[in-house]
Amino acid sequence: MKIRSKKTPSQSKIEMTQLVLPNDTNLLNNLLGGRMLHWIDIAGALAASKHANSKVATVAIERVEFREPVNVGEMVILYAKLTYAGNTSMDIKVDVYAENLETGIRIKTNKAYLTFVALDHQEKPITVPRLKPETPNEISEYKLSEGKRNERKSKLAK
Ligand SMILES: CC(C)(COP(=O)(O)OP(=O)(O)OC[C@H]1O[C@@H](n2cnc3c(N)ncnc32)[C@H](O)[C@@H]1OP(=O)(O)O)[C@@H](O)C(=O)NCCC(=O)NCCS
């Protein structure tokens, strides 16, 4: 039997920066929710791909809330990190901040949890390395993701 390797969340974490341009905005001159979701999806996919060293597909996006508008001309910074690795799937948390470049003030705008599946060249799910959380925060996120997975699986089994 092949032994699965282990990777830490730090080994695949991603920081992605975007500038909000007029083409990214709604009629209020604020960032479009759909554009934000696109960036969240890309940041999450990069972290998942880096962990699995393969192509990945988004299989689920948990509820995302938009509580703070992001204005045109602001910088958006997305931090994506694995919280859990299953057999072929990976859970990723993406934390999003907006920074006003004139004042330097940075606020947290969103938090999202996504699940990706690692795929081979025939687009079939493949096994990913296990996740080895290290910090207290990584361990607590790991337990949270594990709990949500068990809940989802027990609902499916009913
Ligand atoms: C990703 C895909 C290949 C998975 O194929 P599948 O036959 O459904 O595979 P499985 O049922 O074995 O599930 C694979 C993994 O995804 C997980 N998964 C499936 N549905 C899920 C959901 N709704 N939420 C979270 N995880 C889910 C399973 O638990 C499994 O994880 P594990 O191997 O770590 O235990 C297939 O669902 C697909 O092609 N989806 C479309 C992907 C896509 O186009 N994404 C872009 C959206 S626009």
- Domain boundaries of the chain, sorted by first residue: 7-157
**What is the distance between the alpha carbons of residues 18 and 76, in angstroms, rounded to a whole number?**
5
* pLDDT for position 155: 86
Give the residue-averaged pLDDT of 75-81.
98
The per-residue pLDDT of the chain, averaged, comes to 96
Establish whether residue 117 lines the binding site of ligand 1, counting it when its CB lies within 6 angstroms of any ligand atom. yes
Fold of 7-157: Thiol Ester Dehydrase; Chain A (3.10.129)
* pLDDT for position 158: 77
Give the residue-averaged pLDDT of 89-101.
98
* pLDDT for position 102: 97
Establish whether residue 86 lines the binding site of ligand 1, counting it when its CB lies within 6 angstroms of any ligand atom. yes
Establish whether residue 125 lines the binding site of ligand 1, counting it when its CB lies within 6 angstroms of any ligand atom. yes
**What is the distance between the alpha carbons of residues 117 and 55, in angstroms, rounded to a whole number?**
9
Q: Is the pLDDT assigned to residue 125 strictly greater than 90?
A: yes
